[in-house]
Amino acid sequence: MQMLKYMTVVLALAFFAATAGTAPAQAPAAPQPGSEVVKPAPPENPPAQKATPAPGAPAETKTPDANSPAGTQPQSPFDFRFILILVAGFVLLWFFTGRSRRKQEAKRKEMLANLKKGDKVTSIGGIVGTVVEVREDEVLVKVDETNNVRMRFARWAIRGVGEDAKVETPDQRQDKK
């Protein structure tokens, strides 16, 4: 769920950053019936006529001015900035999700490495008991004190030790989040 939140924020930021430099195109307003159409006044100093080049001479090319309306081209919201920000967002998302997963895995390895006789444990199947014996790959757990019932578990099948060994219902897990 947290990954979905990160993804939404990254996509929103990428979209806003990519479209920040572009202005939305505005359509000219249609004249209202009964209103006068006002034409813009002609410029005071009309541009001088340029001489036409002689035949065979190379034509002069004019680069459009950034301020002239003919020189501006509408930018697509999916230009290189959008893609760059999107890729950077995915890299950050991958980094943070991988980091939390590595932390959880390191915590679990440490918990399993520190198992000792007398620890209260819970298995991945929900069986609660007390550690009687610890071997390299196995853990012997006493499940019932009165009948001396013991079960052998693979070390990887231990879900929690100590306070983490408390039995939780799915409702209790949702309350923690």
Domain boundaries, the chain: 1-19+77-113, 115-176
Q: Which fold has domain 115-176?
A: SH3 type barrels. (2.30.30)
Which tens digit of pLDDT belongs to each residue from 78-121? 677 888 888 999 998 888 888 888 898 999 999 999 999 999 99
CA 14 to chain centre: 10
Backbone φ and ψ for 139, nearest 5 degrees, come out as: -135, 130
Strands 128-134 and 120-123: antiparallel
Report yes or no on whether pTM surpasses 0.85. Answer: no
Position with higher pLDDT, 10 vs 96? 96
Res 174: pLDDT: 59
Which tens digit of pLDDT belongs to each residue from 53-83? 666 655 555 555 555 555 566 666 567 788 8
